Amino acid sequence: MNKVVASADAAVADIPDGATVMLGGFGLCGIPENLIAALVRKGVKGLHTISNNMGIDGCGMGLMLEAGMIASHISSYVGENKLLEKMVLAGQLDLTLVPQGTLAERIRAGGAGIPAFYTPTGVGTVVAEGKESREFNGRTYLLETGLAADYALVKAWRGDRLGNLVYRKTARNFNPMMATAARITIAEVEELVEPGQIDPDQVMTPGIYVQRIIQGENYEKRIERRTVRKA
């Protein structure tokens, strides 16, 4: 099945107001830049987003925040986004912070059909507030629920027309697990190739998890902060 969509705008055209959307990336590394830009152009509102962080002011998911598209966000890191901090303190956005490993496992569980799991992370902290706990072998664990989404927007290095994906180095981050945890996964790739051009042993996300794929373009690949030693 050819899953290639003509453009990023066409790929996100059916995402409605109020949808739950996972977005891959860690900082600005491995984010679906083209799909984010298309969502901003579409102007969808009231989104419930799940991502490791919210990009930075003026870049990545920061563009979505500035456009007033996000109603709530589940994340592990506030990061360099001053607008996010301002909106949360003003009560304008519902933010849930989750320990990073727990966030990763909640997404993995959602993709695997596991409704909940126990973890020791967060015991005795504010993370534990309102959560069920249980003791195993003399140690206390918290019950955490799996996460799933209506849509997942992911970025890969290479993909074929069947949706098989290969990620490159640290740009892999949350992308593979998010690709499994949504009803519709939309992937953008730097290199779009024909079926058979990817070694099956190199496939990191099988095409069965991907419903749409686009060829990305004009990647900035920015970083949050650059420090240069003075001469």
Q: Can you give the CATH number for the domain in which 16 is found?
A: 3.40.1080.10
Domain annotation covers residue 201: yes
Residue 155 confidence (pLDDT): 98
Domain annotation covers residue 133: no
Number of Cβ within a 10 Å radius of residue 40 = 16
Q: What is the pTM of this model?
A: 0.94
Count how many domains the chain has: 1
Q: Which residues of the chain have pLDDT under 70?
A: 226
Domain annotation covers residue 88: yes
What pLDDT digit, counting tens, does each position of 79-106 carry? 778 898 899 999 999 999 999 999 999 9
Q: Are 207 and 164 in contact (CB under 8 A)?
A: yes
Residue 228 confidence (pLDDT): 79
Domain annotation covers residue 65: yes
- How are beta strands 116-119 and 139-145 bridged, if at all? antiparallel
Domain annotation covers residue 222: no
Number of Cβ within a 10 Å radius of residue 205 = 24
Residue 111 confidence (pLDDT): 98
Which residues are paired to 160 by β-bridges?
Answer: 193
Domain annotation covers residue 106: yes
Residue 40 confidence (pLDDT): 97
Residue 81 confidence (pLDDT): 85
Distance of CA 25 to the CA centre of its chain: 6
Domain annotation covers residue 91: yes
Torsion of CA 77, 123, 105, 173, to 10 degrees: 30
Residue 11 confidence (pLDDT): 98
Q: Are 78 and 103 in contact (CB under 8 A)?
A: no
Domain hosting 12: range is 8-114+148-215
Domain annotation covers residue 142: no
Residue 32 confidence (pLDDT): 97
